[in-house]
């Protein structure tokens, strides 16, 4: 069983750490050995967040080796670009279609990459790119904050793991009053990916 390497990247406040916890728990429930590591930016809300999750028969380190990412899950477009160098040529990229301007951009000291630059960079890196309107799909079920669960629903469609396992893990990790909303978000992302 080869180790499957995930890199989850986004901006503080988007739910990336919860997503990495769910990914790790799903891997464990599916019978893998799992290791995970979260790296938080200088400010939790607004700073960069990067999570490594690894599933395998025996996983020794929580950190994905350089250039060995099988699945990049990017919650924001610039964060996707920052980590493209880590993705294998056979890797898969799932990117939320959302721009969050860093302070340098909003203050006029730097420019955000154009859509053309983003698109070209993604396509140069991998043939397996999924640009997901996660915020739009999250709003469809009632709350933009569940975009993280929409993205997990999307990636779940790429694995032969019973969706009930994903749903059980989500139920265990979100507040009870938001369980239904999160399950709807998961299914919205999963259905979007299956219909892509």
Residue 41 confidence (pLDDT): 67
Residue 40 confidence (pLDDT): 76
Length of the chain, please? Answer: 196
Mean pLDDT of 126-141: 98
Residue 45 confidence (pLDDT): 55
Indicate the fold that domain 4-195 takes in CATH: Pyruvate-ferredoxin Oxidoreductase; domain 3 (3.40.920)
Q: How far apart are CA 160 and CA 145, in angstroms?
A: 27
pLDDT band, residue 39 (cuts 50/70/90) = confident
Find the helix packing angle between 16-29 and 147-156, rounded to 10°: 30
Mean pLDDT of 154-167: 98
pLDDT band, residue 24 (cuts 50/70/90) = very high
Q: Can you say how many angstroms the Cα of residue 106 is from the centroid of all Cα atoms in its chain? A: 25
Lowest mean pLDDT among 16-20, 41-45, 84-88, 100-104: 41-45
Yes or no: say if 8 and 20 are a contact pair by the CB < 8 Å rule: yes
The separation between the first and the last C-alpha atoms of the chain, rounded to the nearest angstrom, is: 28
Q: Which residue has the higher pLDDT, 45 or 55?
A: 55
Q: Which of 164, 175, 158 is nearest to 26 (CA)?
A: 164
Share of the chain above pLDDT 70, in %: 97
* Average pLDDT over all residues of the chain: 94
CA atoms within 13 A on the CB side of 122: 25
pLDDT band, residue 78 (cuts 50/70/90) = very high
**pTM across the whole model:** 0.94
Q: Which of 7, 64, 59, 53 is nearest to 33 (CA)?
A: 59
What is the residue extent of each domain of the chain?
A: 4-195
């Amino acid at each position: 069983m080869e180790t499957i390497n995930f890199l989850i990247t986004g901006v503080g406040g988007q739910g990336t750490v919860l997503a990495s916890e769910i990914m790790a728990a799903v891997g464990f429930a599916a019978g893998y050995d799992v290791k995970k590591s979260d790296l938080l930016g200088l400010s939790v809300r607004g700073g960069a967040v990067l999570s490594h999750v690894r599933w395998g028969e025996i996983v020794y380190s929580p950190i994905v080796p350089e250039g060995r990412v099988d699945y990049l899950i990017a919650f924001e477009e610039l964060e996707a670009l920052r980590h493209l160098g880590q993705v294998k040529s056979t890797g898969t990229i799932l990117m939320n279609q959302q721009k969050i301007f860093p302070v340098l951009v909003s203050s006029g000291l730097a420019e955000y990459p154009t859509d053309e630059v983003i698109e070209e960079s993604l396509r140069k890196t991998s043939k397996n790119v999924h640009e997901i309107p996660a915020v739009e799909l999250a709003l469809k079920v009632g709350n933009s904050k569940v975009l993280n669960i929409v993205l997990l629903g999307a990636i779940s469609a790429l694995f032969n793991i019973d969706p009930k396992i994903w749903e059980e893990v989500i139920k265990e990790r979100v507040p009870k009053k938001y369980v239904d909303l999160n399950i709807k978000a998961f299914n919205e992302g999963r259905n979007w990916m299956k219909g892509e």
